[in-house]
Amino acid sequence: MYVVMRIPSTPNCGDVRLSRDHTNAKHYKDSAFSLVLCLPPTIPASITLTMSSPAQESQEALWQPIARRKQAERASRIPSKWHIPSHVLPRDPPRPEDGPQNVLDTPRQFLSSSEISITESYTLPTLLTAISSRKLSAEEVTQAFCHRAAIAQQLTNCLTEPLFESALTRAKYLDTYLHKHNKPFGPLHGLPISVKDTFNIKGVDSSIGIASLCHKPATQNSPLIDLLLSLGCIIIAKTNIPQTLASLDSVNNVFGRTMNPINRLCTAGGSSGGEGVLVAMKGSMIGIGTDIGGSIRVPAMCNGVYGFKPSNGRVPYGGQALISLDGLSRTSITAVAGPIARSVEDIDVFLREVVPLAHLFGEDCIPTPWSRIPSQKKSLRIGILRSDNNCTLLPPITNILDEVSSKLRSTSNVTVIDLPCPPAWTKCQSVMSKLMGVDGGVTMANLLEATSEPLVPWMSTRFRKGKPQPLTRVAEIQAQRAALEREMLKLWYSDDDEGRRTQTLDAIVCPVAPHPVPPIEGYNAVGMTSSWVLLDYPAGTVPVRDCTEKDLKLGTPLGGKALGSWDERNRELWDESKLDRRVYLGTPLSVQVVVPRLQDERLVEAMGWVDKACRGTGGDLKARL
């Protein structure tokens, strides 16, 4: 007989068998047997013990024992000295009566004053200076961030692969190198970073939360990993993602759900949800995510941090876990890799080192320099773009756009222009959806079918195995895309009487989504983020302030008619007969900043202008950053 444990908050997880020899164990005895029961700190305190025999075990789907083993391996990589007491763990599954269960500051209870200072007091450039000047060692910095990441994992379930041991080994090597050569290994010497689970690291799984990919470690690094290591970075962990990577709520059968540290009732976002959470929890200085529909910008919005989706070709993307036919992205939509951080400055300093070298590592990159953020003395023309006419803005989003617009108008050297919605922007979401589905989901479906792994509830009504589209159909959709690209150019440029063209708009400020950070599995329409991927425009998330009761207009219905099926779902997030709007209290309100293709440096500049203009309005949000 075996003793097993059920984890209620992990969808479809079934039973999780426990180790007999874990150092943090409890003994249970029965008249028929005696064994050791391990309770990893990431497991909720409320558990149900059940019994299963070998005969019963044989009836399990193949994915279930794989998931158990993977979770046990992850738990074993958190040192017992970093386990936190069960009484501080939030309640799962979250219930409205439990409130938001904010855990952003909880790690401070278990960190030394030095660890708190290291993880909270430095910006990226000041931390690099402290390490290179030997004020801090790479080892003590890495130790502090690993410790904080371990606590974040226990509170939010944000990690897939804790890499603490290898991170500390590399930190010691970098300290030795600095002592021996009297110079840093690279410009990002000792920088503790985390990466989305999709990136390959030699000897480590890229399971992306799918059982059939577990225990198949990568044989080589992704090009971006090699680039980051060459610059002196230290990778402390890989982070959680949603099943199929096609939703904006990070949950899968292998690792479970990543929880929002600000409000456990709301989504942490996806698909780079683990990165957004870990950066918000200050368990990593920079998180590397990927973005095809909003997967960097949405987690940044949900967790109140900064996200940057670059243009295609600026940051290496290739060499990741394959979820579709290899090479197919070159015929449909190409995702990009980019940073999630705690400031615009940190993003700038990071990309300043990564982008100029990207073409030496990534076959998908172009040779380009990276200019520093200008001094902000020149003028800037910013357009305010509101609804895409697919979804109605809910009042908190209207409020935050109005406030940002007002702040920018009062900023010297900034001209603000209210833009009408271009018809092309309205059409982008439909074309994007077509291109996203050209592979028919065959590769992903086969990966799930290999171990009889079910779809998680949200995906069960949205993912179906289909047939890859023929080349002629793909060409038709790409032609539609090209037409939209040409139409959108008119937003940025104007022609004089002689046909000479000039860029007349520097940046756009628009919503990240038509709604605030939604409840778990409440995210639906992604047109305001996916459209910019279709057009290959750089786009970033800037947090502004927290949602207040004034934003909620309690008792006042939205009014008007739904613009379509996407808007119907959007309006449900404001319908007080279906949802208590107070769930949004304290969650971050952010805006999205967009610039034309390949003008990534201008995006950082524009994000800086917006951030500076709004910095005084951030309240609690700015304080926690």
Q: What is the pLDDT of residues 276-301, one digit of tens each?
A: 999 999 999 999 999 999 999 999 99
Which of 17-21, 354-358, 401-405, 558-562 shows the lowest per-residue confidence on average (mean pLDDT)? 17-21
pLDDT at 24 over 60: no
Cα(252)–Cα(545) distance, integer angstroms: 30
For the residues 349-373, what does the mean pLDDT come to?
Answer: 93
Question: What integer pLDDT is reported at residue 25 of this predicted model?
Answer: 38
Cα(278)–Cα(518) distance, integer angstroms: 19
How confident is the model over 26-38, as pLDDT tens digits? 333 333 333 334 4
pLDDT at 134 over 50: yes
For the residues 188-204, what does the mean pLDDT come to?
Answer: 98
Question: What integer pLDDT is reported at residue 89 of this predicted model?
Answer: 98
pLDDT band of residue 379 (cuts 50, 70, 90) is confident
Question: What integer pLDDT is reported at residue 618 of this predicted model?
Answer: 61
Q: What is residue 507's three-state secondary structure? A: strand
**Taken in order 30, 31, 32, 35, is the CA torsion positive or negative?**
positive
Share of the chain above pLDDT 90, in %: 85
**Taken in order 306, 311, 316, 322, is the CA torsion positive or negative?**
positive
Domain with CATH 3.90.1300.10 in the chain: 107-372+380-391+398-549+578-624
Catalytically active residues, by annotation:
196, 271, 295
Residues in the chain: 625
The tokens describing 434, both together, are 């077509």
Other beta carbons less than 10 A from residue 471's beta carbon: 10
pTM score, whole prediction: 0.91
Cα(552)–Cα(56) distance, integer angstroms: 51
Which of 323-337, 338-352, 528-542, 581-595 shows the lowest per-residue confidence on average (mean pLDDT)? 323-337
pLDDT at 241 over 80: yes
Cα(357)–Cα(344) distance, integer angstroms: 21
Question: What integer pLDDT is reported at residue 155 of this predicted model?
Answer: 98
Sequence-separated (6 or more) residues with CB below 8 Å from residue 216: 205, 207
pLDDT at 43 over 50: no
pLDDT band of residue 49 (cuts 50, 70, 90) is very low
Mean predicted lDDT score pLDDT of the chain: 91
| Angle, helix 600-614 to helix 395-409, in steps of 10 degrees | 90
Cα(588)–Cα(547) distance, integer angstroms: 6
Q: Does domain 107-372+380-391+398-549+578-624 have CATH number 1.10.3470.10?
A: no
How confident is the model over 562-618, as pLDDT tens digits? 999 999 999 999 999 999 999 999 999 999 999 999 999 999 999 999 999 998 666
Q: Are 144 and 114 in contact (CB under 8 A)?
A: yes
Q: How many CA atoms lie within 13 A of 316 on its CB side?
A: 23
How confident is the model over 381-401, as pLDDT tens digits? 999 999 999 999 999 999 999
Cα(289)–Cα(276) distance, integer angstroms: 9
Cα(348)–Cα(235) distance, integer angstroms: 19
Q: What is residue 511's three-state secondary structure? A: coil
Question: What integer pLDDT is reported at residue 187 of this predicted model?
Answer: 98
The tokens describing 594, both together, are 């967009």
**Which residue type sits at 236?**
I
Return the closest-CA partner of residue 160 out of 207, 230, 227.
207
Q: What is residue 290's three-state secondary structure? A: strand
Cα(576)–Cα(507) distance, integer angstroms: 36
Return the closest-CA partner of residue 398 out of 556, 270, 604, 622.
556
> Own/partner pairs for 23-31, CB < 8 Å, 24+ apart?
23/80, 24/80, 24/83, 28/3
CA 270 vs CA 155, 255, 305: distances in Å: 18, 14, 14
Buried b / exposed e across 562-583, counting CB within 10 Å, b at 16+?
A: ebeebbebbbbbbeeeebebbb
Question: What integer pLDDT is reported at residue 620 of this predicted model?
Answer: 73
Return the closest-CA partner of residue 284 out of 120, 405, 128.
120
Sequence-separated (6 or more) residues with CB below 8 Å from residue 498: none
Question: What integer pLDDT is reported at residue 315 of this predicted model?
Answer: 98
How confident is the model over 436-467, as pLDDT tens digits? 999 999 999 999 999 999 999 999 999 999 99
pLDDT band of residue 619 (cuts 50, 70, 90) is low
For the residues 542-563, what does the mean pLDDT come to?
Answer: 97
Sequence-separated (6 or more) residues with CB below 8 Å from residue 132: 178, 184, 189, 190
How confident is the model over 458-498, as pLDDT tens digits? 999 999 999 999 999 999 999 999 999 999 999 999 999 99
Question: What integer pLDDT is reported at residue 329 of this predicted model?
Answer: 79
For the residues 78-98, what does the mean pLDDT come to?
Answer: 97
pLDDT at 157 over 90: yes
How confident is the model over 117-127, as pLDDT tens digits? 999 999 999 99
pLDDT band of residue 39 (cuts 50, 70, 90) is very low
Sequence-separated (6 or more) residues with CB below 8 Å from residue 139: 168, 171, 172, 175
pLDDT at 169 over 80: yes
pLDDT at 325 over 90: no
Return the closest-CA partner of residue 504 out of 377, 383, 370.
383
